[in-house]
Amino acid sequence: MSKYESMNFSKVKALIVDSDQFAVEILGQILEGFGLPEARSTDNTESARDILLEGKFDLLICEAMLKDGPGTSLVRWVRSQANPRVRYMPVVMLTGHTQLGYVESGRDSGVNVVVKKPVSPMVLFDRLVWSANSPRPFIETDTYVGPDRRFKFMGLPEGGGLRKTDLDGDIGEATEPNLSQDEIDGFMKPARMMVFE
Amino acid sequence: MKKSESARVVYYRNSLHYLLNSGGGTTREQAVAAAHRNVESLAVDLLPLLHDEISQLEELVSAAPESLTEDVLREIFHRQSVIYNLAGTFGCEGLLQVSASLGDLLADMIEFNLRPKEPIHVHVRAARMFALDMPPVLDEAQAALINHLAHVREFLRSEARGKSPV
């Protein structure tokens, strides 16, 4: 989409948490392509917590299945922090296993989006921009802290979109029995339609 | 959320929003194209490692007991994820399908607390057929093999029927 606004990733500080060193390398190159000079990474939740406590990060990209436990436990920890920069930071969960239960588990831990592996640069770019710019509020209850789940994403607008910051293009592809990226997006926000203004 | 729970609604603009929209930067098309180029440049170094990853998976499965432990199963899951991601990133379609099938199998095994090694062994042997140093697999043979793996998974699921997810 030629009219799409430029996005400046040059000062974004991202933390990648993934036990797969090759996935980290690939993701790092994707982010570098976006203009993000260097992402920090770690392969376990314990060191991720220590790093995040520095309070310097704008984005967390976390694999759903880490060697020392589920990525969802890290996300729940993030959402329990008092520092708003940590508590409300955009969290992208990556997973190669997109059966409904895995996506549901990610959503209910408080992630902003779930992205299917192997990561497509276009899908990741769109989800990052959407996570940053969406007016979606945070909901805090005794059992859940995270982006409002009562929210239905009806897909990206066709053509040029209704406003210049809207996105277009196809996203994801279906591979049974896993959910496609479209189905994941739809499932993340199951109950109310999002109106593009 | 239960009806009795009170909810607080917070409108918070994260720092990512301000940074991305601070002016300058690149368009979506430029960013995605640059990312693709960067990833392609990794292929020379990472693709040959698929062979090692398959070998490590073979060794892991071969050394494992007939009834797998939770730890071994998770280690296999980790190895499978590595192969799946590399194969998918660099367009190794046959290996991607086999590793995806193995991932589905492992997810079922964890969900239903099933621990037989043989279905995994079948998948690992199939993965070896698609290693880069092996002769190319014909499309028909690939389709038949993937279909066979689907039957292996279905057989395991049939064993799980009647069992509740743990």
For residue B135, the distance in angstroms to the closest alpha carbon of chain A comes to: 25
- CA A185 to chain B, closest CA, distance in angstroms equals 20
ipTM for the whole complex: 0.89
> Residue B132: is its pLDDT beyond 70?
yes
Does position A156 have pLDDT exceeding 60, yes or no?
Answer: no
Omega before residue B135 within 30° of 0, cis: no
| pLDDT recorded at residue A28 | 97
A51 pLDDT above the threshold of 60: yes
Residue closest to A89 by CA, chosen among A97, A100, A77: A77
Nearest CA in chain A to B15: A58
Predicted TM-score of the model (pTM): 0.84
> When comparing pLDDT for B113 and A49, which is higher?
A49
- Are residues A140 and B8, on separate chains, in Cβ contact within 8 Å? yes
Query: What confidence tier does B133 reach under pLDDT thresholds 50, 70, 90?
Result: confident
**Non-local CB neighbours of B91 within 8 Å, separated by 6+ positions:** none
| Residue A193 DSSP symbol | B
Joined tokens for residue B116: 């037989």
Residue B16 Cα distances to A11, A35, A83, A151, angstroms:
9, 14, 16, 21
**CA distance linking residue B146 with residue A180, whole number of Å:** 19
**Interval B26-73: pLDDT, tens:** 999 999 999 999 999 999 999 999 999 999 999 999 999 999 998 899
pLDDT for B134 equals 87
Judging contacts by C-beta atoms under 8 Å, the chain B residues touching residue A22 are: 46, 49, 82, 85-86
Whether B16 sits inside 8 A of A12 (CB atoms) is: yes
Task: Name residues whose C-beta falls within 8 Å of residue B89's C-beta, 6 or more positions apart in sequence.
Answer: A26, A118, A119, B39, B46
Beta strands in chain A (DSSP E): 14-17, 40-42, 59-63, 65-66, 69-70, 91-95, 113-116, 138-140, 145-147
Pair A43, A67: CB distance under 8 Å: yes
**Per-residue pLDDT for B24 more than 90?**
yes
B163 vs B9, B113, B114, B146, B153, CA distance in Å?
40, 9, 10, 26, 16
Contact A163, A197 (CB under 8 A): yes
**Residue A66 DSSP code:** E
CA distance A77 to chain B (A): 18
Q: Fill in the DSSP letter of residue B1.
A: -
Tell me whether residues B38 and A175 touch, CB distance under 8 A: no
Probe site for chain A from B9, B10, B11, B16 (most A CB atoms < 10 A): B16
